[in-house]
Amino acid sequence: RHALTRRLIAMIDLTDLSDSSSPADVERLCSRAMEHRVAAVCVWPEHVRRAGRQLDGSNVRIATVVNFPAGDDRAFDCSVIADRVIADGADEVDLVLPYRAVSAGDHERASAVLDAVRAVVPAERHLKVILETGELGNSALVGRAARLAIDHGADFVKTSTGKTSVSATPEAVTAMAHEVVSASRPIGIKPSGGIRTLEDAAALLHAVEAVLGVGWATPASFRLGASSLLDALLAE
């Protein structure tokens, strides 16, 4: 149990995307991230530069969000923000897929957003695409959304914004894992939202590794987007 807990801590994207997130909150977040050696922090775009100054010299990566949380911004607007956060030092861009368009069968609009952002995110930086799986609903649609994201340059597929009633579930990550296993290049998976306990995190890890193999998940291939999970794991 201790080994599992340590393994999970190393895969956390320690997140503060609250509406009230302040510079002081971000500084505390970064301090905790360095102390406990999590994989990354995830902050609002306006905090990327500040996080970069504090995390300089550490192994903690900086993630931020684009088209968040609604997924309704235009491709051009998404690319402008993505370009700015890359310039500010973001290592990873978590982009919300236009999931309503995907649900309606409008893959052209969704593809335009993906392509516009991928064009400004360099190959050495990660593009993590948020599918909003709870809103997509069924596993077949989750799988199609994951495939679309992968085909248009995603390095990771991510379940959720954490701003909807249903976030990460084992069923969603299983559907995503089936698309990852058939991809022609390595793709990571990031469950996010509603992951609050060791049991929550372990269930998601197990669901992924049931498809991709025990030991597949590392901080390079599997992340857990969470704000309170670290506290629960440290309590273990």
Burial (Cβ within 10 Å: 0-12, 13-18, ≥19) of residue 94: buried
Q: Find out whether 9 and 29 touch, Cβ atoms under 8 Å.
A: no
Catalytic residue (choose from 16, 73, 128, 190): 190
Across the strands, what pairs with 192?
A: 225
Catalytic residue (choose from 16, 94, 155, 200): 94
Q: Is 190 known to be catalytic?
A: yes
Q: Is 163 known to be catalytic?
A: no
Rg of the chain on CA atoms, in Å: 16
Residues 6+ apart with CB under 8 A from 158: 94, 128, 129, 130, 131, 189, 190, 191, 192, 223, 225
What is the distance between the alpha carbons of residues 204 and 173, in angstroms, rounded to a whole number? Answer: 7
Catalytic residue (choose from 73, 91, 158, 200): 158
What is the distance between the alpha carbons of residues 236 and 187, in angstroms, rounded to a whole number? Answer: 30
What is the distance between the alpha carbons of residues 50 and 134, in angstroms, rounded to a whole number? Answer: 32
Length of the chain: 236
Question: Coil, helix or strand for 180?
Answer: helix
What is the distance between the alpha carbons of residues 189 and 232, in angstroms, rounded to a whole number? Answer: 22
Q: Is 94 known to be catalytic?
A: yes
Answer whether the bond into residue 69 is a cis peptide, omega within 30°.
yes
Which residues are identified as catalytic? 94, 158, 190
